[in-house]
Structure formats: C-alpha cells, structure tokens
Structure 1
Amino acid sequence: MTEVRYDVRGGVALITLDAPDRRNALSVEMAGELVDAARTAESDDAVGAVVVTGGRHFCAGAVRSVLADTGRDPVEDEAYRNLETVYSAFTTIGSIGLPTVAAVRGAAVGAGLNLALATDLRVVSRTARLLPGFAQIGIHPGGGHFTLLNRVGGREAAAALGLFGEEVDGDRAVALGLAWAAYDDDDVEAQAMAIASRVAKDPALARRLVTSFRRETAPGGVSWDVAVELERSPQMWSLRRKHDA
C-alpha cells in the first residue's frame, strides 16, 4: 500500500489515510487500498475493532479529477466504476463485520464526511471541520449522504449540513450527536484507540456485538420483542463460551 497505512495494535487495526499533500482526498487508488485494508482486518480473527484516521487531515473528499471525469460522461464504463470505487471506500468500512471508530482531525468534507459517518462511532478534534461541501462546488451529494447524516444526527442535522451547507466543529458535532467525544488534536487518535481497544480485547464477541448492534439500530429499527429474539442466539453463545472457558 502506498496511500494507506495498516497496523494492528492490541487487536485494533489502525487504518491511516496517508496522502497529506492533498489532505487525504480520496483517489481511486486510495479508495481501493482502503477497501483492501478493511477486508484485511475483517479476515484476521485476532482483530476485534478498526480505527480509521487521516492524521492531521481526515479526508478532504474525493479528488476533483474523479468527479470531473464522471461529469464528462457519467455512464462511460471506467468513469462510472472509478466513482463506484470511491463509494466503496466508505460503504465497505460501514459494512465490515467489526466495530469501527473514526478518529477525525482537520476536515472531513464530502466523501470524507461520508467515511466518518459510515463508522459506528466518531471521536473528533475540537477544531475538526465537518462539512458536506457538495452543493458548494455545484454538485448534488452522493454516496447516500443524506441517509448517513440522518442516521447519525437526525433530520435537523441532515437538513442543516446536507441541504443548507452548514459546517460544524468538533464540539458542535458532539452536541448534535454526530460524534461521541471531542478532544484536543494531539489526543484524538489515542482516545479512539482506547475506546476501540476495550471491545477488541475479545474479537469473537466484538464481531457478534456489532452484528446485533447494526441490526437493531438500522433505520426503522426493530420492535423490542424482535430485538429480544435477535439477541437470544448470540447471548446463548456467549454464555456457553464463558461456561466452557
């Protein structure tokens, strides 16, 4: 990998976007490497959680050339597939069978904001900048942007950011429910790793937990009686495993 760094620490896979010269804007190559890193973590039974970060600059969206190429001929095969690859960067992070945390410093813009919102939890810098940026450059949001905003922050936040182009910092993101906690810049990644490390201590349980969590908190949710039944099987598995330990 040349634009994504992958490291495992204490059962946590740390995936770092590493193209600081363009503030980690997602190229087709970087998106592909991010997908590969996520799948590598998922295939490793010793990994119990994933932290996605970008160092000082989380992700400035998709590189403009991908959008420009798609604009010239949206249904041309290569252009269509390239944009699809960029989408897959955050749809994969959002669907792998591991708990995921975004450690956000600097800006999360457009597709970069999608990437942060796709994770199960966000830890942000107080000075982080979360903004859609789509309409500001004259294009419609993509990648399920409104759904991601609404799922995490609710309709009001989705309207403010996605429709009206509001920008929020880390403290405001926490107040809106778009992030769990805000810290000083230098503490963000360590705090994200600490949170991820707790669940990662038991990788097998972590994978069961995140499956139930996503099923029960998916848009529309499930009724309480259905949730009881959904949780019964993995809880019985965990009780038996604990008894046999």
Structure 2
Amino acid sequence: MPEVLLSKQDGVAVIVVHNPEVKNGLTPEMGRQLAALCDDIDTDESIGAAVVQGAEGSFCSGADRRRWNPSGDQAEDTAFKESGAVYSAFKRVGELKVPSVAAVRGAAVGAGMNLMLATDLRIVADNARILAGFLRINLHPGGGFFTLAGRTAGREATAALGLFSAEIAGPRAKEIGLAWDSVPDDQVEQQAFDLARAAAQDPELAREAVRSFRTELGPPAIGWDAALHFERGTQMWSQRRRANL
C-alpha cells in the first residue's frame, strides 16, 4: 500500500516514502500524509531534526503515474487538486521547523528530485540517479524546480538539469554543490541519521538556527548587514540560555 511512514529516535524524525512497486512514486494521498506527518514533527518539541528517505533502496521516482496521466487535462478540478497535494507536500517538508536531511539512494527523479531539494541538506549514494527529466517527457518543470535547484547548485547546474535534462550520480552532485556528500549506497541512511542526530541534541536551538538559516539564505537572500541584526537577538537568547544549562 502506498504510504508515508514516520519513526522517531534520539530526537530525529525519520520520514520514509513507501511505494516500492513504483520506486516510491508519490500519490496525492501520500502527499497529504507527508504534510500531516510534518505537522506532527513540528508540534513534537523533543524532535530537533528530520531525515527524509525512500523505502527499499530508492528515494522517489516522482509522481506515481498509475494515478497521474500527464496527457490528461491537468487544469480539470480534481487533477489540479491532486497534483497540488503532491507539490504542497514537498513544500511542507521545506517548511519543517527542524533541520532536514535527504538520504538519497537509487532514483530521485522529477517530483522526487524536488522532494530531495526541499530539504536543508543531502547525502547521496555514489550510484544514485538524479534527474529532473521534465523536458525529456515534454513537460515544463513544476513544483518550483528552478528556484529549488538554483538556491542549491546555482544557475549553471540548474540550467543543465532543468533545461538540458542532464542526469548525474552522487559524485557529480557533490561536486556541483547539490549534495553535501556522496558515499557508498549502504552508508547513505546512517550518515544522514548521524548528521541529523548531531543537530537534534538541542532541539530548541536547532529550530531557532534553521529559522535563521532559511531566512538569511532565502530565496530571496538578505544582505549581510540585515543578517547581522536579524541574528543578534537570537544569539543573545542562546548565550543567556547556555549560561543556565
């Protein structure tokens, strides 16, 4: 059954996209489940970080095409709302109140690449298949792809991926700044969890830090002078709080 699963350990929420028959393609129902699980994470103040991963060695192949007909009328009310549920899901991941890490094994394609890019950090397998792929199937990119990719890998890489349908593996993703690290497939999920657990040691501070991180870097980013003033109040709060720990 296609679903999204949630577990919690050591202050880390682990979200698993589970639809292995189609390499974890997303259905509208899964999109709604994912958004609801993000609400759960945000309200659980013991959680200081999140990992997003796919089931059975593959991250996410995009939309589940058993439910999505790209040749159909996407402006029809039901179809429009169903695709919106998928788009809203990875936007909701990007709005989590805790730092998030994507553990990318196997395929991250189309909407699955958007889900990967919605997180704050990515650990990818050396043999991962990372592909926007929209133009390959005669579709314009969706879900804010250009903004997501551009803020992570910059203009040149975003053009290659989004306009020219370049496909890359883990080492190239790391080289162009699309991922923090590229590691052997069997190490991806543990490394992502270890990073998340480090942030989750102080959930309250992690939530404040990631709020500053996203506000300052955007898009749109803010200038250095504004960032200095924006950070100052929260830094003073953390200093007072640290003295009392």
Query: Do Structure 1 and Structure 2 share a fold, with TM-score over 0.5?
Result: yes
- Mapped to 1, the partners of 2:188 and 2:195 lie a distance apart of 11
- Name the residue aligned to 1:64: 65
Deviations 1:35-78 (A, max 9, x none): 1111111110000000000031100001224442x753333222
Match for residue 101 of structure 1? 101
SS in 1 for 2:52: strand
Question: TM (normalized to structure 2)?
Answer: 0.96
CA–CA distance in 2 between the matches of 1:222 and 1:72? 41
Asked whether 1:142 is paired with 2:142, we answer yes
User: What is the rounded CA distance, in whole Å, between the counterparts of 2:150 and 2:92 in structure 1?
Assistant: 19
Q: How does 1:34-183 map to 2 (within 5 A)?
A: 34-55=34-55, 56-68=57-69, 71-183=71-183
Residues matched between the structures, number: 244
Alignment RMSD: 1.4
Deviations 1:121-168 (A, max 9, x none): 000000001101111111111001111111110000001010000000
**Distance in structure 2 (CA, Å) of the matches to 1:209 and 1:169:** 30
Structure-to-structure mapping, 1:6-21, within 5 angstroms: 6-21=6-21
Offset of 1:244 from its aligned partner?
2.3
3-state DSSP of counterpart to 1:160: helix
Large movers: runs of 4+ above 4 Å: none
Q: Is the 8 A contact 1:66 1:83 kept in 2?
A: no
Q: Distance in 2 between the 1:222 and 1:87 partners?
A: 26
SS of match in other structure, 1:14: strand
Amino acid at match of 1:177: G
Between the aligned partners of 2:71 and 2:97, the Cα distance in structure 1 is 34
Instruction: Give me the TM-score of the superposition, normalised by structure 1.
Output: 0.96
Q: Deviations over 1:176-216 (max 9, x none)?
A: 00000011111100000000111101000000000000011
| Alignment check: 8 A CA contact 1:66 1:79 kept | no
Which amino acid is 1:202 matched to? D
| Percent identity of equivalent pairs | 49
Who is 1:229 aligned against? 229
Match of 1:87, SS state, is helix
- Contact 2:2 2:27 (C-alpha < 8 Å) held by counterparts: no
Q: CA deviation at 1:5?
A: 1.4
Secondary structure (helix, strand or coil) at the match of 1:231 reads helix
Query: Structure 1, unaligned stretches of length 5 or more?
Result: none
SS at match of 1:127: coil
